Amino acid sequence: MDDISGQQAVILTIDDEEAIRESFHHYLEDYGYSVIEAENGQVGIDLFESQKPDLVLVDLRMPEIDGLQVLEHVVSKSPDTPIIVVSGTGVIGDVIEALHLGAWDYMLKPLQDLSVLLHAVQKNLERSRLTRENHAHQEQLEIEVQKQTEALRKTYLEMQETNRQLLQSEKKYRSIFESLTDVYFQVDLQGYIEEISPSVFSNLGHRRENMLGARLWDFYVEPERFEEMFSRLSRVGTIADFEVLILDSDGLERPCAITAAREANGDGSGRIYGVFRDITERKQAEAKIEHQAYHDSLTNLPNRTLLLDRLELALHRSRRHGYEGALLLIDLDRFKTINDSLGHSVGDQLLCEVAHRLASVLREEDTVARIGGDEFVVLLSDVGHDTQATARRAEGVAEKIRHELSLPIRIRDHELYITPSIGITLFPMQQEDAGAVLRHGDTAMYQAKAAGRNTVRFFLPGMQTEADERLGMEKDLRLAVGQNQLRLYFQAQIDQHGAVCGAEGLLRWEHPEYGLITPDRFIPVAEETGLILPIGEWVLQTACELITKWTQGPLSDSLQHIAVNVSPWQFRQPNFPAQVERILARTKADPGRLGLELTEGVVIDNVADTVDKMASFKALGVKISIDDFGTGYSSLSYLKKLPLDILKIDRSFVEEVTEDESNAAIVETIIAMADHLGLEVIAEGVETEGQLAFLQKNGCMRYQGYYFTRPLPIEQFEQFVLDSSK
């Protein structure tokens, strides 16, 4: 918990999305912060005026009064209050405008990892504290300097009045003079030191007696700064907080701030008197604030702001001198799994080790930055004049990174293995700015993930079109969930006697403009955006409602098994077994008729967790099947550990089972393996009589495919089952 003047830090979050506010509220309260919420800009301004929060989280896009107006108000009223912009627009211009208006930091929604929010809040509260302390320090310095300078000046004038006053003033002067913490000095107009206080020793290590009679500018690192100071004193008579570098007794440069006045006599003589102090600590504090504004607090790497600055500079240099550069955007595969299972402390140490390894493979002139979560960026500037050579150089660096990150990482008692997905874009391509180059790298990185992870992909113009289409699909899919555009189709499963014995529920999207959209197009988008969770729950709810309906009607004998596919994201949720149990209870569906189909990758990703969840489903009576068996790991070592019920032979083997001896051998092996383990087998993709005959001959007694029926809407499927039973 950050402490503001001994009190609990108060955070105001302004967002028109209740879910966002609540997630921020609960998360930040867990870390000891006091959180107040505003659902729009006007309420946010009112709460800011009444509650005086220590930090503001504000969304940019809100109706009536938007985030930029709130930002202007807060900055005008309290410029030292940190403001973090949390934007879901993805438009770099909005973020830049917010930063120009005075925003301290920004993040993009949705936040997959709320530790990013915590780091941002902690960093900016610390920056705010340092800023306030610095202001207070400077104000106190000015007040103290003014007081001391005025007292000394009065003392000096009194010394000239009379001998009696001179004696009295001398005593007073000496008392102040001997006890000063700042250094009082007095020089003639040629710069020779007439007087200097003993405190020069505690400040700079010089002895007073060694400095008397010397020229003050001989101690300046930059003698021209004395000339500038003298010139300003000649023009206006005084200076305040004039910064210079003075050599201490060890020859080290020490930053000092001088406040002084020039006294001139009618005959042209005069003197300069004033005070100075060592401001090393203040400069260090300012440097720390400056560093924190442009660096990631965890890894100490440049952050997004500094990266964009350097990228803009590299773009300008590339266009001016004809050099080409490359930008690599790196995302750590399965980092979230490690972070969630082993804790944020291990995850943070892992990120620091990744940062170290990335820096080790780069040239000194290259930049590696962390731009949030587990995303890193490598900027290779001035690589060469030839595009092909630049591409080869960038790919070579990417492969070095893959090698370095593939080596085991030891953290505490854990030996961790990670892989990167790397997107590469070259620049300059056209007249794109730094934000566009970063987006191109992001697009290429997503292509690398889509290609199976632990891969490298280059940005191509077609990729941007695909990314735009994906964003459009994401927007439409969000509407589809709320507007009931999703449908369940069912494909019958047939037994060895030709009778319907079950069915698989298959998700379809009836788009109002583009018609029927198949899952292979929209499920990846749903998984990346988190929409797969409400969609998966809807599929389970709908399937269970239909199980109850069919169990009570004429289809009961034919539909003994209704299977639905379970997304990896859905299965990995800790509360997934409880969710299935609630839906079964709510719909009064027979658990013995429900089947959950998992892919091999989900099963082996965390075998211990998989076994626990499968045991929960077995206790309910729900059956578990491995979908597309044979395309992945297909290892007896995990099959023996899992309480499975069904193996489904993938259609890629079935379709050539009568032409390809290798496929035939694989199918025979799967059937024999299942028989040995006491598992049922279903063959998918059966389309010909020859395929059916081969499967029957080798002991597979359940089938699914176009030879029997295509996936059908619910009413047509029900009619098909009725017709088949006659």
pLDDT band at residue 209 under the 50/70/90 scheme:
confident
pLDDT digits (tens, 9 = 90+) for 370-400: 998 899 999 998 887 788 788 888 888 998 9
CA 194/CA 32 separation, integer angstroms = 58
pLDDT band at residue 176 under the 50/70/90 scheme:
low
pLDDT digits (tens, 9 = 90+) for 499-535: 999 999 999 999 999 899 989 889 888 887 889 999 9
Torsion, CA 611, CA 614, CA 620, CA 625, rounded to 10: -150
CA 329/CA 453 separation, integer angstroms = 13
Using the predicted structure, report yes or no on whether residue 137 has a pLDDT greater than 70: yes
Average pLDDT over residues 195-222: 86
Domains, the chain, ordered by start: 3-112 (3.40.50.2300), 135-284 (3.30.450.20), 299-459 (3.30.70.270), 489-724 (3.20.20.450)
State whether residue 608 is helix, strand or coil: helix
Which pLDDT value is given to residue 5? 45
**b/e burial code for range 674-703 (CB count within 10 A of at least 16 → b):** beeeebbbbbbbbeeeebbebbeebebbbb
The maximal CA–CA distance of the chain, rounded, in angstroms, is 131
Average pLDDT over residues 698-703: 95
Give the residue, 153 or 573, on which the prediction is more confident.
Answer: 573
Average pLDDT over residues 657-672: 90
Using the predicted structure, report yes or no on whether residue 577 has a pLDDT greater than 50: yes
Which pLDDT value is given to residue 429? 81
Phi, psi torsion values for 108, nearest 5 degrees: -105, 135
Please check whether residue 455 is in contact with residue 490, taking contact to mean a CB–CB distance below 8 angstroms.
Answer: no
pLDDT band at residue 6 under the 50/70/90 scheme:
very low
Using the predicted structure, report yes or no on whether residue 1 has a pLDDT greater than 70: no
Torsion, CA 403, CA 408, CA 409, CA 413, rounded to 10: 180
Using the predicted structure, report yes or no on whether residue 427 has a pLDDT greater than 80: yes
List, in order, residues 6 or more apart from 106 with CB less than 8 Å away.
Answer: 84, 85, 86, 87, 95, 98, 99
CA 67/CA 270 separation, integer angstroms = 57
CA 228/CA 247 separation, integer angstroms = 18
CA 433/CA 361 separation, integer angstroms = 27
Which pLDDT value is given to residue 66? 87
Using the predicted structure, report yes or no on whether residue 542 has a pLDDT greater than 80: yes
Mean pLDDT is lowest, of 102-106, 296-300, 326-330, 485-489, for 102-106
Using the predicted structure, report yes or no on whether residue 543 has a pLDDT greater than 80: yes
**Mean pLDDT rounded to a whole number for the chain:** 87
